[in-house]
Amino acid sequence: MKTYDNIYIDGKWVKPSGQGTIEVVSPYSQEVIGTVPKGNDDDVNAAVAAAKAAFPAWAATSVEERAVYIEKLGEALAAREADIGSTISQEMGMPVTFARMIQAGLAINITKTYPDILRNYKFDEQLGTTTVAKEPIGVCSFITPWNYPLYLIIAKVMPALAAGCTMVLKPSSDTPLNAYIFAEIVEEVGLPAGVFNMLTGSGSVVGEALSGHPDVEMVSITGSTEAGARVGANAAQTIKRVHQELGGKSANIILDDVEDFAGAVSAGVQGVMMNCGQTCAALTRMLVPESRKEEAYAVATAVCNGATLGDPSEEGMHLGPVSSKKQQGVVLDYINKGIAEGAKLLAGGPDFPEGLNEKGAFVKPTAFGDVTNDMVIAQEEIFGPVICILPYKDEAEAIKIANDSEFGLSGAVWSGDEDRAVRVARQIRTGQVAVNGGGFNPFAPFGGYKKSGNGRELGEFGMVDYLEIKAINRPGAPSPLAAAE
């Protein structure tokens, strides 16, 4: 068991002012695998003060200095890849093989993109006799979730460091142990004191204090829509910038001319089951032609029934439990709602999978057919291994169904004609769309429309929210009135 008594403030491990501890529970065994302290308002004030004091010097560092620090962080993360993968597997249930590849791998690879992005970024641009200067916004606070815990920390920390900002991190109380590994790495590489600070605690105490603190210039949250709305409302009191990466209920449109229909359906179902559906951008609504729905149902049934579930500590390409008993209950409630709403249960269901540790928070990979978009399971984010298949009559109806959602985070289109797929993709109101299985690009912007949030992460776009824009006007600029004459 990993026991942490301190929090990381101003380059030191210090005793928190807050009392009590948070227990980290394995979703597989239900045993306590670690404890971290509960921070309070005084701890938030100390961390923000450290970040504020460190900001002027860090903002004044050269691009090259910041790039070298980020390179060192990337190297140190890579050196602890196995430790990171094992820790996250224990905390949230992703099998260790996948956790090394995805949870640790994403964090490492995203970090490695930022030195070159930083070195090539134009912080000053000329607009006639005006210099447009892009300057770090200041102290930032980060509130991160449990589903991809370290990757989503990295997606905020690295662009903020690159921009010249200082920061305070509050990781998820369900998965804080990987954040301690990262704080140890920050200390190891010698990042200047106060640039990065971390404390653990509840959202209702630490999260509230960080999102409303008057010395925090920007708050970034990845989490539920409800949590994002609360952070936004709290931040509005001090008129700070807010970045929100929130929920999703993304549509995967398989058009009638796709060449490998079964392959497209199979890829879509497998993509949802990755991380047991606990992915905000998961393509959980699959739209298929009415005339081919039975084919889709057969493929989805085979994929779900063919999935293997097991102990996340064992090597292999199986699925683990969902993140907690609480999350298991949420997902099972949705499955029961789908059945009650009249959706056709193709595979899975609410029963506990046979032959598994009954303490584990397992959910059978589940597929529903004959889903209509007014059903709860088609509109609300389930965040579990559940896919809904919705038949459509024609392309126009498919686009209408895809856009009939309060979310707009992700999407996909499959077609035998790539130009047609792109044309349909342009009509979907969502932050990113994969065409014919197009893969994840770490340099491309990630974020959503509508209730999926505000702002973008990753790549050069990920630095934009961490920069203020200043116009420095020199003499000699023509008067607009003179130009009009």
- Closest CA relative to residue 158, chosen from 194, 122, 109: 109
> In the structure, what pLDDT confidence band is assigned to residue 107 with cuts at 50, 70 and 90?
very high
Say if CB 211 and CB 41 are below 8 A apart.
no
Per the listing, tokens 């359906």 go with 265
Contacts of 321 (CB under 8 A, 6+ apart): 27, 28, 93, 276, 309, 312, 328, 360, 361, 362, 363
Query: Which one has a higher pLDDT value, 55 or 476?
Result: 55
Q: What average pLDDT is seen over the chain?
A: 97
pLDDT, tens digit (0-9, with 9 covering 90-100), for 181-217: 999 999 999 999 999 999 999 999 999 999 999 999 9
For 438-479, how does the pLDDT look when each residue is reduced to its tens digit (9 = 90+)?
Answer: 999 999 999 999 999 999 999 999 999 999 999 999 998 555
Q: What is the pTM of this model?
A: 0.96
Residue 223 CB neighbour total at 10 angstroms: 24
Exposed / middle / buried, residue 45 (Cβ in 10 Å: 0-12, 13-18, 19+): middle
One-letter identity of residue 320: G
Q: 296: which 2 tokens?
A: 């889709």
- What is the DSSP code (8-state) at residue 79? H
At residue 479, the pLDDT reads 57
Q: Domain spanning 2-246+452-471: which CATH class is it, in words?
A: alpha beta
In the chain, domain spans: 2-246+452-471, 251-435
Cβ 386 vs Cβ 399: under 8 Å: no
How far is CA 174 from its chain centroid? 15
If one counts every other C-beta atom within 10 angstroms of the C-beta of residue 377, the result is 25
| DSSP element (H, E) containing 36 | strand 32-37
pLDDT > 90? residue 221: yes
Residue 289 has pLDDT above 60, yes or no: yes
The answer on pLDDT for 485 being more than 60 is no
> Is residue 349's pLDDT more than 60?
yes
Q: Can you list the pairs that 396-404 forms with residues at least 24 positions away whose Cβ atoms lie under 8 Å?
A: 398/253, 398/255, 398/287, 398/424, 399/253, 399/424, 399/427, 399/428, 401/251, 401/285, 401/287, 401/373, 402/251, 402/253, 402/285, 402/287, 402/428, 402/430, 403/427, 403/428, 403/429, 404/373
**pLDDT average, residue stretch 425-443:** 97
pLDDT band at 482 (very low <50, low <70, confident <90, very high): low
What's the angle, vertex CA 106, arms to CA 102 and CA 110, rounded to 5?
175
Pick from 246, 30, 272: nearest CA to 144 = 246
Which residues are the active-site residues? Answer: 245, 280
- Residue 13 identity: W
Q: Are 4 and 13 in contact (CB under 8 A)?
A: no
CATH number of 251-435: 3.40.309.10
- Show the tokens assigned to 140: 């930032």
pLDDT of residue 481 exceeding 60: no
List, in sequence order, the alpha helices (H) in 324-465: 325-341, 376-379, 395-403, 418-425, 461-464
3-state class (DSSP) for residue 390: strand
10 Å Cβ neighbour count for 147? 25
Q: Which residue has the tokens 């890579």?
A: 78
Q: How confident is the model at residue 483 (pLDDT cuts 50, 70, 90)?
A: low
* 135 — pLDDT class (breaks 50, 70, 90): very high
Instruction: For residue 169, give both structure tokens.
Output: 């991190």
Residue 146 one-letter amino acid? W
CA atoms within 13 A on the CB side of 314: 11
Torsions phi, psi of 184, nearest 5?
A: -60, -40
Q: Which of 428-450 are b and which e, b meaning 16 or more Cβ less than 10 Å from the residue's Cβ? A: bebbbbbbbeeeeebeebbbbbb
- Side by side, the strands of the sheet bearing 386-392 are 344-347, 366-369, 386-392, 285-289, 251-254, 411-414, 434-435
- Percentage of the chain modeled with pLDDT above 90: 98
* Phi, psi angles (nearest 5°) of residue 138: 135, -140
pLDDT for res 476: 85
pLDDT at 484 over 60: no
CA nearest to 135, candidates 235, 212, 55: 55
Which residues are registered as beta bridge partners of 450? Answer: 407
